[in-house]
Structures are given as structure tokens and as C-alpha cells.
Amino acid sequence: MRSINMLDLKAEYDLFRDDVREAVDRVLESQYFIGGPEIADFEGEMRSRIGVRDAVAVSSGTDALLCALMALGIGHGDEVVLPSFTFFATGGVVARLGATPVFVDVDEKTFNLDPACLASAISDRTRAIIVVHLFGQCADMDAVREVVADREIPLIEDACQAIDATYRGDPAGSLGDVACFSFYPTKNLGGFGEGGLITTNDEKLGAFARQLCRHGQSDRYFHEHVGGNFRLDTMKAAILKVKLAKLSEFTDRRRKNAIRYDRLLAGSPVTTPFVRDDCKHVYHQYTITCNRRDDLVGFLRERGVGAGVYYPLGLHRQPCFTGKGGGGSLPVTDCLCERVVSLPCHPMLADDDLGYVAGVIHEFFGTTIPADVAKESSAQANA
Ligand SMILES: Cc1ncc(COP(=O)(O)O)c(C=O)c1O
């Protein structure tokens, strides 16, 4: 039976093997495992790619969020507003600092924070808003800014799934006061282990975040603040630099796959991803919605297709947040949790693979791939 997984990291590694080994050798020969020029180079490349004044390499996307909140002084008694439909870390970091996460609903088409819901969640205790660019498409930042208006509430972008995405021409990571990226191996820029990045145009905030990453020390062994050890390993930065060279090409491949799926799935009852005209979607996930989601996932897996459900439960319903910001119902999030399914969309897929996955979905629903679409290759479809 055919096997089409959510990722094919081994096939990707084949494209990088020699350069990765060379980078690893370089670090081994230098015996520089923390800090050093590899980290500085990587931060510099990210700074210019995202178009920001500072970029701080950190140990994970979770630590990027934690450190960003710490740099903004978030703590006990504060409220942080964020969408419920996201990965756990977005809310977990708020609770870890003793602040209260205030979960709001999302837009049913984009899956991103609904600005109208945000308006009613802001209170006198709101100290930050985390906007998640879910699945690789930016949230409506202008609408969010309009809701915040002249209140001085910092906007944090959770751009962990959105490297290279743009909103009205500007890159994710440059749209708020501070932004956080993840280089977890499954991400669009996936590292060899955990990794993350903080970006900001606020040089003071960037410098403070950098200090917090080194236990808050101002000088060696002199600590002005309590921070943590949130540094990215030098070896990982050297490898990420290698992978960065192919990121644009990989993003293009993901986008082509998505366009192809959109066409292949026409005529089936599933809803394909909605893409805003003013956004460049990078398809960290290609996520459809449908009835009988669990049955479809089972059907796909039986036929060798590794579909994923991101996410099966909103953060407002997670047991750990009971009495700590959780509870209540958020109708759109609750509905999406029952209806979403993400399909393999990674850069190593062949046109044939996309056709197979779409064929299985049509088979499940008793529909067929439109005849004209079945005939064209993805090259023709994207010409
Ligand atoms: C939206 C979102 N936020 C935060 C994170 C946390 O990143 P990491 O796994 O690198 O800690 C992730 C990654 O899984 C994510 O997808």
C-alpha cells in the first residue's frame, strides 16, 4: 500500500546532507557550542529576511513566547488575550508566568483570532495580546490594531507556523511589537532539534530579551533580572543556516501543492483553506473542514495517508486551565475542533501523491475528481 506521510524529513535531508555535515564539522572544529559567529550570522540572516531591527535566537518557540512575555513584564494579576484555537504553548506560557489567559474565538474561515471577539475580551487588566498566524496565514493585524486603538497594549505575534508568510506585503514577525518563531523539526524551517527566534523592531525590548535568555545577567555573573537559559545551540544555528537556503523554494512547493489540492478537491463536500487576498499563505498546514471528520481520518489512514487533526480541543476546554482562564463555550473553536483535518502538503510530495490523497477523499464522500483537473499535471495547473 502507498504511504504518504505529513512529512518526509529523510527525503529533505538527502538534499542537505553534504552541507549539513560541513556545517557540523565547522562547529566541531571550532569547539564553540554556545554563542559565537554562527549564532550571530543566523540572527543577522533572520533580521534581514524578516526586516526587523533585532532577532534573538532562542531554545524553542515556547521559550520565545515565554521570554517575550517576560520581557514585557507580564506576571501575576495580568491578563493576556489569545485565540483558543492554537497549539498549547501559546496559552501555557501565560499561565506559567502566573498571568491569566483570556481565550477568545476565531474567524471560521481563516481560523485566526476574530477581532470582534477580541474587543469584548479586553479589560483594564489586559497587558498583552497574542495573535497567532495559524497554519501559515497571518491574522488580520490591521483589524486587531483598530480594536486596540490607542490603548497601550503590546501585540505579540505567535509566528511559529508562519515563517515567510506576509500580510499586506509585510513579513510575519514584523507586524507587532514582538514576534516568536519555532524551528521544531516539523516546522517550515525545521531544525535538528528544538529551536526558536524572537524578532522585534524595539531595540530596547530585543536587548532585554537577549539578557533574559542568559539568566538576566548584565555582566558575567551579575544578574539584574531573573531570566532563564533560553539560548539556541550553536550547532543548531549552523544547520538552520543551511536549511534557510532552500526555504523560499520549499515554501513555493507548499503553495503549489495547496493550489493543486484546491482544484483536485473541487466537487467534494470539503471546504478547502480560505486565503485572504492580502495574505501570502505558507501552508504550514493545508487544513480542510468537513462533516464526519473522524471517519474520514480513519479512512485516509487505512489507505496509507497520514492526516492530522490540529487541534481536537480548544485551549478554553483544556483541563489545566479550569478556574485559570478556561471554561465557557467558544462556538467557532468548538465547531472547528470537530471538523478540521490537515492533509500532507510538504515540499517533497509528487503530483501523483496529491492526486492519490484527493482521490481517497473523493472516494470517502462518493464524489470524483473533476475530469479536466485529473488530466492536468501540477505543472500545467500552476502555469
Ligand atoms: C502556534 C504555535 N505556537 C507555539 C509553538 C511552540 O513552539 P516549540 O514547539 O518550538 O516550542 C508551536 C509549535 O509547535 C506552534 O505551532
C-alpha dihedral, 351 to 357 to 360 to 365, nearest 10° = -110
Cβ 62 under 6 angstroms from ligand 1: yes
Is residue 1 very low, low, confident or very high in pLDDT (cuts 50, 70, 90)? confident
Work out the average pLDDT over 302-330. Answer: 96
pLDDT tens-digit map of 165-202? 999 999 999 999 999 999 999 999 999 999 999 999 99
- Asked if residue 140 lies in contact with residue 132, where contact means CB atoms within 8 angstroms, the answer is no
State percent of the chain over pLDDT 70: 98
Give the ligand 1 atom nearest the CA of 86.
1
- Predicted TM-score (pTM) of this structure: 0.97
Please report the pLDDT score of residue 288 as a whole number. 98
Residue 6 pLDDT exceeds 70: yes
Q: Ligand 1: which residue has its CA nearest to atom 10? A: 61
Cβ 196 under 6 angstroms from ligand 1: yes
> Could you tell me which residues come within 8 angstroms of residue 102 by beta carbon, excluding any fewer than 6 positions away?
79, 80, 81, 82, 121, 123, 126, 325
Rounded to the nearest integer, the mean pLDDT of the chain is 96
306 by Cβ neighbours in 10 Å (0-12 / 13-18 / 19+) ranks as middle
pLDDT tens-digit map of 222-237? 999 999 999 999 999 9
Cβ 160 under 6 angstroms from ligand 1: yes
| Rounded-to-integer distance, Cα 74 and Cα 129, Å | 11
User: Which domains does the chain possess?
Assistant: 9-103+111-244 (3.40.640.10), 247-381 (3.90.1150.10)
How far does the centroid of ligand 1 lie from the alpha carbon of residue 64, in Å? 9
Cβ 87 under 6 angstroms from ligand 1: yes
- Asked if residue 201 lies in contact with residue 320, where contact means CB atoms within 8 angstroms, the answer is no
Residue 382 pLDDT exceeds 60: no
Residue with cell 493545508: 286
Least confident of 69-73, 141-145, 281-285, 321-325: 321-325
- Asked if residue 111 lies in contact with residue 158, where contact means CB atoms within 8 angstroms, the answer is no
How far does the centroid of ligand 1 lie from the alpha carbon of residue 61, in Å? 5
Of 248, 216, 147, 232, give the one whose Cα is nearest residue 182. Answer: 232
Cβ 112 under 6 angstroms from ligand 1: no
Which mutation among 96, 160, 181 tests ligand 1's pocket best, with the greatest number of atoms within 8 A of CB? 160
How far does the centroid of ligand 1 lie from the alpha carbon of residue 352, in Å? 31
Residue with cell 492526486: 355
Residue 219 pLDDT exceeds 60: yes
Pairing outcome for strands 79-83 and 100-104 = parallel
Give the ligand 1 atom nearest the CA of 195.
10
Of 199, 154, 163, give the one whose Cα is nearest residue 54. Answer: 199
How far does the centroid of ligand 1 lie from the alpha carbon of residue 173, in Å? 14
Please report the pLDDT score of residue 377 as a whole number. 64
Which mutation among 7, 87, 158 tests ligand 1's pocket best, with the greatest number of atoms within 8 A of CB? 87
Residue 298 pLDDT exceeds 90: yes
| Rounded-to-integer distance, Cα 315 and Cα 333, Å | 9
Cβ 184 under 6 angstroms from ligand 1: yes
Please report the pLDDT score of residue 380 as a whole number. 54
pLDDT tens-digit map of 111-150? 999 999 999 999 999 999 999 999 999 999 999 999 998 8
Please report the pLDDT score of residue 381 as a whole number. 52
Cell of 212: 533574559
Cα distances from 97 to residues 68, 170, 324, in angstroms, run: 11, 31, 12
Element (H, E) at 82: strand 79-83
pLDDT tens-digit map of 45-95? 999 999 999 999 999 999 999 999 999 999 999 999 999 999 999 999 999
- Asked if residue 382 lies in contact with residue 354, where contact means CB atoms within 8 angstroms, the answer is no
> Could you tell me which residues come within 8 angstroms of residue 309 by beta carbon, excluding any fewer than 6 positions away?
293, 297, 340, 341, 342
How far does the centroid of ligand 1 lie from the alpha carbon of residue 94, in Å? 14
Cβ 161 under 6 angstroms from ligand 1: yes
How far does the centroid of ligand 1 lie from the alpha carbon of residue 188, in Å? 12
How far does the centroid of ligand 1 lie from the alpha carbon of residue 267, in Å? 34
State percent of the chain over pLDDT 90: 97
Greatest C-alpha distance within the chain: 70
Please report the pLDDT score of residue 356 as a whole number. 97
How far does the centroid of ligand 1 lie from the alpha carbon of residue 89, in Å? 6
| Rounded-to-integer distance, Cα 240 and Cα 49, Å | 14
Cell of 227: 531570566
Of 337, 325, 366, 318, give the one whose Cα is nearest residue 130. Answer: 325
